[in-house]
C-alpha cells in the first residue's frame, strides 16, 4: 500500500481521497478498536498456551506459527459457537430433517437470544449518558425488574397472553424504573452523585433478590431458593421448536430501540433531555426543567434495564434463580459507548456482544479458552473507544475534522 | 488555601442550625428506639450475658452479665442527654465524635437486646469486626489518596482482585513477603493504567475505572481457570498465610488484649497506615499539595505545583494501597485465590470512603461499622432477632446513600474531582 501511495502521490485518485476521508472518520476508530481488541485477545490466547512455548523452544518461527494456529482455532471455535458450523448447516439443509436443521441453526439463534438483554441494557446506559447521567446500576435494575416481572408472571392467573405478556413486561419496567428513580431523585434534589448511588443500589438489589428468593417469592415446593414458574400466558412466544429459544423479545427489543430513537431525536422532550445532558446550564437558562428531566431520564433508564430482566424471565428462564444475570449490566456500559449512545449503534454493538458471548461458550468447550476472555476483550475495546487518541496513535490516523462525540458527565465534586 | 476553604466549609456545615437540629433529633430518636424497642422489648428480669473472650484465646475471665432492661434504660437516658445538648448548644467540631458514640451505643443496645436471655460472645464479635474492617478501611484509604488529588477511583475492586491473584502466585513460588510486594506492585500497575487513561488521555475517570474493573475480573478469572484451578498447577495456589502475632505486653491486657493485639500483621498495619495517612495528608506540605490538586488545581498550578504529576503519584500510591488490601484476601484471610473473591468489598470500601467523608480516620470508623454489619449478617442465625441477614448486609449501602444525600451530616467530595486538569495556554 505504501508503494502505491508513493507512486501516485501527485495525482490523488478516488481511492486516495477515500483513504484520506477514512482517516478522519470516527467510524474507523470504532472498527479499529474492535479489531485491535480481537487481535489482542488472540495474542492472549496464544501466550497463555503451553503449546506456544513448547513450539518456541524449537524455533521462533515455529512458535509464531503455533501462536497463529492457536489464535485461529480460538476464533474458529468462537465463530462456530456463535453462528454455527457451515458444513453442518448445509448438510442439514440437504438432509431435510427438521430437528437436525434446528440443531444446526441453534448457535445463530442462541446468539440472537443473548443479544436481547444486551440491547435493553445498552439502551438503558445510553439514555443515561445522553442526559449526562452515568447509570452504573443497570445490573441491580435488571435484578429488580426480574423480581417484579416474575411476580407478575406467576401471580396473575388465567389471563390471555395478549394482556399478560405486556403486563409482565410492564411490571419489569416498573421495578427497574423504581430502582432508577431513587438515584435520579437524589441526584436532582440533593446533588448526590448517581454513580455512587447506583453502585450502592446494585448491592441493595442483590441482597434484596436473595431475600426475596429465600422468602416472599420462593417456590414452596422447591428445596433450593427458586421462584415459581411463570404462567404460560406470560411467556414470550417462541418461533421455532426446541432447542431454538429465539423468542418474541428480540423484536420487542428492536421496537423499543426504535422507540428510543424516536423519543431522543424526534421529540421535544428528547431534545430537552439531550440538552440537559450536554449543557445543563444552557438548558436551565432556556427554561428547561433540569430536575424533572434528570428524574425522568434516570427512571426511563432504569425501566429499560428492568425490561432486560423481565425479558430474561419471560423469554429464557421462566423463573428466577440466584445469580441469574451475569454481568449484563457492566457489559452494557461498554456497548453503549461502542454504539456512541445512539439506539441504532447500541443495537449493532449488542449484536456483536451477543454473538461474542454465545460464541465464547463454545470456545470454552472446544478450544479450552475460558469464557472470561470476553470480559478482557470488552475492557480493551472499552478503553480504546473511550480514548480514541490511543487508536489514532497506534495506527497513525489523522485528527478528526470535528470534535469527537464524547460523554459529558460531572465529577463528584460537582464541577 | 484549599485546605482552609474545606475547614471553613466543614465548620459552617456543623454550625448550621438545621443540621444541628437534625443530628440532635437523630440522637433523641436513637434514645427513644433504645428505650421502647430494646429496653422494653426484652423481658423484665432478663439478663444479657456477654462472653468477652474470643474463641481460641488461652486467657479466661468472667462473662459480663447485666440486667438488660435497667442497663439499656440508662444508656437511653445518656443518648437523650447527648441529643438535648446537641440541640441546645451543639457539639461544633465534635459532632462526628458524638455521632459515632451514639451509633456505638445504639449498636451495643441492639446486641444486648438480641442476646438478652441468652449469651453471646461479644469479644469474638468485636475481634472479627476488626478483621473484617481491614479490606474495607484499606480500600477506602486507596480511594482517599486518589480522590483527594482529584481522580475518581471506582476501580478499587479491580485493583484488589488483580493484586490478590498475583500475590497468590508469587507467594506460592517464593515467600509471603515477596507475594505481598507483588500484590502491591500489581495494584500500582493497575493504578498506572487508570492514571494514564484518565490523566493523559483525559477519558472519563468513571469509565476508566470500569475498564480496570472489567479487565481485572476477566483476567483473574481467565488465568485462574486456565491455570491455578487445574490439578497440575495446584502448587501455584498455596501461598500460605501470615501468622498471628501477639504484642508482648499489650495482648495480656484483660478484655481488649485478645480483641485488639492478637492478629496477623494486616490489622496492625491498617492502624499504622491510618495514622500515617492522616498525618501525611493533613499535617505535611506533601498532603497540602495533594489536596490542593483535588480542590482547586488552577490555584495549585499557579503556586507552582505540578498538578498532573501530583495526581499520577497519588493515584499510583492509591493503587499500591488497594494492592495491599488485595493481598489481605489471600495472604491474610483465606490462604488461596478464588475467582471474584473480593465479592464487592472494593465497593464497600468506596462506600466507607464516602461515609468517612474522605478522611482516613472516618474511613476507619466506617470500615469498623460496615465490618460489624458484615459480621452480624454472617451470625444473624445465632441472634434471636427477626431481621433477615440480607437486610443487615444492605445497611452499609443504604447508610452511605443517606450520608451522601446530606440527611445526617453531609459528606463532601473534593471540589475538582473527576475533572481532568488542562493548563490554559495564552
Length of chain A: 415
State the pLDDT confidence band at A179, using cuts at 50, 70 and 90: very high
Q: What percent of chain A is modeled with pLDDT above 90?
A: 23
Give the CA angle between residues A353, A358, A359 to the nearest 5°.
95
ipTM of the complex: 0.84
pLDDT for the residue numbered B381: 63
Average pLDDT of chain A?
A: 84
**B343 has a chain A CB within 8 A of its CB:** no
Preceding peptide of A243 cis, ω within 30°: yes
C-alpha span between A218 and A310 (Å, rounded): 17
**A136 has a chain B CB within 8 A of its CB:** yes
User: Comparing C-alpha atoms, which of A37, A15, A36 is closest to residue A23?
Assistant: A15
User: Comparing C-alpha atoms, which of B415, B316, B408, B333 is closest to residue B371?
Assistant: B333
Rounded to an integer, the average pLDDT of A99-118 is 87
User: Comparing C-alpha atoms, which of B236, B198, B194 is closest to residue B215?
Assistant: B194
CB distance B194 to B208 below 8 Å: yes
pLDDT for the residue numbered B137: 94
C-alpha span between A38 and A374 (Å, rounded): 10
For chain B, domain boundaries:
127-362
Instruction: Give the closest-approach CA distance of A391 to chain B in angstroms.
Output: 11
pLDDT for the residue numbered B384: 62
User: Comparing C-alpha atoms, which of A351, A305, A361 is closest to residue A114?
Assistant: A351
Lowest mean pLDDT among A218-222, A339-343, B160-164: A218-222
C-alpha span between B210 and B157 (Å, rounded): 10
Strands B64-67 and B244-246: unpaired
- Inter-chain residue contact B214 with A413, CB threshold 8 Å: no
Strands (E), B92-247: 119-121, 244-246
CB pairs under 8 A between A and B: 165
CB distance B215 to B156 below 8 Å: no
CB distance B134 to B270 below 8 Å: yes
Chain B contacts of A214, Cβ < 8 Å?
388, 390
Q: How far is CA A347 from CA A127, A338, B269, in A?
A: 13, 10, 50
Length of chain B: 426
Q: What is the pTM of this model?
A: 0.85
Instruction: For residue A338, count other CB atoms closer than 10 A to its CB.
Output: 25
pLDDT for the residue numbered A62: 83
Q: DSSP labels for B201-219? A: S---HHHHHHHHHHHHHHH
- Helix (H/G/I), strand (E/B), else coil: A220: coil
**A160 has a chain B CB within 8 A of its CB:** no
C-alpha span between B158 and B209 (Å, rounded): 8
Is A99 exposed, middle or buried, given 0-12, 13-18 or 19+ CB atoms closer than 10 A?
exposed
Strands B119-121 and B47-51: parallel
Rounded to an integer, the average pLDDT of A135-149 is 92
Which range in A185-199, A389-403, B250-264 is most confidently predicted, on average pLDDT?
A185-199
User: Comparing C-alpha atoms, which of A181, A116, A108 is closest to residue A144?
Assistant: A181
Lowest mean pLDDT among A127-136, A346-355, B89-98: B89-98
State the pLDDT confidence band at A414, using cuts at 50, 70 and 90: low
Strands B262-264 and B119-121: unpaired
Task: Give the DSSP letter of residue A320.
Answer: -
Chain A contacts of B213, Cβ < 8 Å?
330
**B214 has a chain A CB within 8 A of its CB:** yes
Domain A108-371 falls under CATH 1.10.3470: yes
Q: Give A64-96 pLDDT, tens digit per residue.
A: 888 888 888 888 888 888 888 888 888 888 887
Instruction: Give the closest-approach CA distance of A177 to chain B in angstroms.
Output: 18
Rounded to an integer, the average pLDDT of A270-291 is 87
Q: Give B57-114 pLDDT, tens digit per residue.
A: 666 677 777 777 788 888 888 888 888 888 888 777 777 788 888 888 888 888 887 7
**B280 has a chain A CB within 8 A of its CB:** no
pLDDT tens sequence for chain B (426 residues):
333 334 434 444 545 677 778 888 888 888 888 888 777 777 777 777 777 777 666 666 777 777 777 888 888 888 888 888 888 887 777 777 888 888 888 888 888 877 777 777 777 888 888 888 999 999 999 999 999 998 988 899 999 999 999 999 999 888 889 999 999 999 999 999 999 988 888 888 888 888 999 899 999 999 888 888 888 888 888 888 887 877 777 777 777 777 777 788 888 899 999 999 999 999 999 999 999 988 888 888 888 888 889 999 999 999 999 999 999 999 888 888 888 888 888 888 988 888 888 899 989 988 998 888 888 877 766 666 677 778 888 888 888 888 777 755 556 777 777 777 777 665
Residue A84 in grid coordinates: 454455527
For chain A, domain boundaries:
30-82+372-403, 108-371
Among the partner residues A134, A199, A412, nearest to B417 by beta-carbon distance: A412
pLDDT at A261 over 90: yes
Residue A281 in grid coordinates: 446550564
C-alpha span between A317 and A228 (Å, rounded): 11
Considering only residues A46 and A169, tell me which one the structure prediction assigns the higher pLDDT. Answer: A169
Residue B27 in grid coordinates: 440522637
Convert B172-196 into a string of H (helix), E (strand) and C (coil): HHCCHHHHHHHHHHHHHHHHHHHHH
Amino acid at each position: 500500500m505504501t508503494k502505491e501511495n508513493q507512486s501516485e502521490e501527485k495525482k490523488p485518485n478516488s481511492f486516495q481521497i477515500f483513504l484520506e476521508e477514512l482517516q478522519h472518520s470516527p467510524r474507523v476508530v470504532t472498527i479499529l478498536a474492535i479489531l485491535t481488541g480481537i487481535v489482542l485477545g488472540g495474542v492472549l490466547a496464544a501466550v497463555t498456551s503451553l503449546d506456544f512455548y513448547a513450539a518456541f523452544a524449537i524455533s521462533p518461527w515455529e512458535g509464531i506459527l503455533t501462536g497463529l494456529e492457536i489464535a485461529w482455532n480460538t476464533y474458529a471455535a468462537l465463530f462456530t459457537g456463535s453462528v454455527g458450523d457451515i458444513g453442518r448447516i448445509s448438510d442439514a439443509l440437504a438432509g431435510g430433517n427438521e430437528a437436525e436443521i434446528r440443531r444446526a441453526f441453534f448457535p445463530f439463534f442462541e446468539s440472537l437470544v443473548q443479544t436481547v438483554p444486551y440491547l435493553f441494557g445498552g439502551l438503558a446506559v445510553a439514555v443515561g449518558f445522553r442526559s449526562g447521567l452515568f447509570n452504573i446500576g443497570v445490573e441491580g435494575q435488571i435484578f429488580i425488574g426480574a423480581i417484579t416481572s416474575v411476580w407478575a408472571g406467576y401471580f396473575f392467573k388465567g389471563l390471555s397472553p395478549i394482556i399478560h405478556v405486556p403486563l409482565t413486561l410492564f411490571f419489569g419496567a416498573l421495578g427497574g424504573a423504581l430502582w432508577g428513580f431513587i438515584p435520579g431523585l437524589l441526584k436532582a434534589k440533593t446533588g448526590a452523585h448517581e454513580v455512587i448511588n447506583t453502585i450502592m443500589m446494585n448491592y441493595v438489589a442483590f441482597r434484596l433478590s436473595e431475600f426475596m428468593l429465600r422468602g416472599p417469592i420462593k417456590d414452596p415446593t422447591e428445596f433450593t431458593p427458586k421462584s415459581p414458574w411463570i404462567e404460560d400466558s406470560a411467556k414470550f412466544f417462541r418461533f421455532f421448536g426446541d432447542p431454538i429459544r429465539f423468542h418474541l423479545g428480540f423484536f420487542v427489543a428492536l421496537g423499543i430501540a426504535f422507540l428510543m430513537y424516536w423519543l431522543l431525536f424526534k421529540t421535544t422532550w428528547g431534545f430537552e433531555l439531550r440538552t440537559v445532558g450536554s449543557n445543563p446550564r444552557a438548558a436551565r437558562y432556556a427554561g428547561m426543567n433540569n430536575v424533572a428531566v434528570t428524574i425522568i431520564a434516570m427512571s426511563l433508564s432504569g425501566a429499560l434495564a428492568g425490561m432486560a430482566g423481565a425479558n430474561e424471565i419471560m423469554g429464557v428462564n421462566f423463573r428466577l434463580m440466584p445469580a441469574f444475570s451475569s454481568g449484563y449490566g457492566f457489559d452494557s456500559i461498554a456497548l453503549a459507548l461502542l454504539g456512541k449512545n445512539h439506539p441504532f449503534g447500541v443495537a449493532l454493538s449488542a449484536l456483536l456482544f451477543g454473538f461474542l458471548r454465545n460464541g465464547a461458550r463454545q470456545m470454552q468447550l472446544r478450544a479450552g479458552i475460558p469464557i472470561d476472555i470476553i470480559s478482557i476483550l470488552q475492557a480493551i475495546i472499552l478503553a480504546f473507544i473511550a480514548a480514541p487518541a490511543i487508536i489514532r496513535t497506534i495506527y497513525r490516523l489523522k485528527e478528526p475534522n470535528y470534535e469527537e462525540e464524547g460523554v459529558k458527565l460531572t465529577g463528584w465534586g460537582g464541577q | 488555601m484549599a485546605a482552609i476553604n474545606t475547614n471553613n466549609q466543614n465548620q459552617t456545615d456543623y454550625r448550621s442550625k438545621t443540621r444541628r437540629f437534625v443530628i440532635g433529633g437523630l440522637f433523641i430518636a436513637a434514645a427513644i428506639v433504645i428505650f421502647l424497642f430494646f429496653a422494653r422489648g426484652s423481658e423484665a428480669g432478663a439478663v444479657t450475658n456477654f462472653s468477652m473472650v474470643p474463641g481460641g484465646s488461652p486467657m479466661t475471665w468472667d462473662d459480663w452479665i447485666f440486667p438488660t432492661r435497667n442497663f439499656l434504660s440508662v444508656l437511653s437516658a445518656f443518648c437523650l442527654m447527648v441529643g438535648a445538648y446537641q440541640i441546645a448548644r451543639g457539639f461544633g467540631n465534635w459532632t462526628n465524635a458524638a455521632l459515632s458514640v451514639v451509633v456505638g451505643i445504639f449498636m451495643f443496645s441492639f446486641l444486648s437486646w438480641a442476646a438478652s436471655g441468652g449469651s453471646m460472645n461479644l469479644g469474638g464479635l468485636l475481634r472479627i469486626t476488626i478483621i473484617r474492617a481491614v479490606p474495607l478501611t484499606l480500600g477506602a484509604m486507596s480511594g482517599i489518596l486518589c480522590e483527594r488529588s482529584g481522580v475518581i477511583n471506582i476501580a478499587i475492586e479491580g485493583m484488589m482482585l488483580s493484586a490478590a491473584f498475583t500475590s497468590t502466585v508469587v507467594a506460592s513460588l517464593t515467600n509471603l513477603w515477596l507475594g505481598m510486594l507483588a500484590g502491591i506492585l500489581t495494584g500500582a500497575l493497575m493504578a498506572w493504567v487508570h492514571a494514564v487513561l484518565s490523566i493523559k488521555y483525559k477519558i472519563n475517570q468513571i469509565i476508566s475505572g470500569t475498564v480496570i474493573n472489567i479487565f481485572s475480573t476477566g483476567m483473574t478469572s481467565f488465568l485462574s481457570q486456565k491455570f491455578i484451578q487445574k490439578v497440575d498447577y495446584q502448587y501455584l495456589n498455596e501461598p500460605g498465610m501470615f501468622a498471628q502475632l501477639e504484642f508482648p505486653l499489650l495482648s495480656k491486657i484483660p478484655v481488649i488484649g485478645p480483641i485488639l493485639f492478637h492478629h496477623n500483621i494486616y490489622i496492625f498495619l491498617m492502624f499504622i497506615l491510618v495514622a500515617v495517612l492522616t498525618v501525611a495528608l493533613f499535617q505535611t506540605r506533601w498532603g497540602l499539595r495533594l489536596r490542593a490538586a483535588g480542590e482547586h488545581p488552577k490555584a495549585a498550578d499557579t503556586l507552582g505545583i505540578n498538578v498532573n504529576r501530583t495526581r499520577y503519584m497519588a493515584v499510583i500510591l492509591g493503587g499500591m494501597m488497594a494492592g495491599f488490601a488485595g493481598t489481605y484476601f489471600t495472604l491474610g484471610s483465606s490462604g488461596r485465590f478464588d475467582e471474584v473473591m473480593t465479592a464487592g468489598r472494593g465497593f464497600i470500601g468506596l462506600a466507607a470512603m464516602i461515609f468517612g467523608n474522605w478522611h482516613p480516620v472516618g474511613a476507619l470508623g466506617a470500615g469498623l461499622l460496615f465490618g460489624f454489619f458484615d459480621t452480624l449478617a454472617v451470625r444473624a442465625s445465632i441472634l434471636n432477632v427477626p431481621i433477615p441477614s440480607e437486610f443487615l448486609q444492605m445497611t452499609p449501602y443504604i447508610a452511605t446513600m443517606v450520608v451522601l444525600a446530606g440527611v445526617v451530616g453531609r459528606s463532601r467530595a473534593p471540589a475538582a474531582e473527576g475533572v481532568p486538569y488542562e493548563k490554559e495556554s495564552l
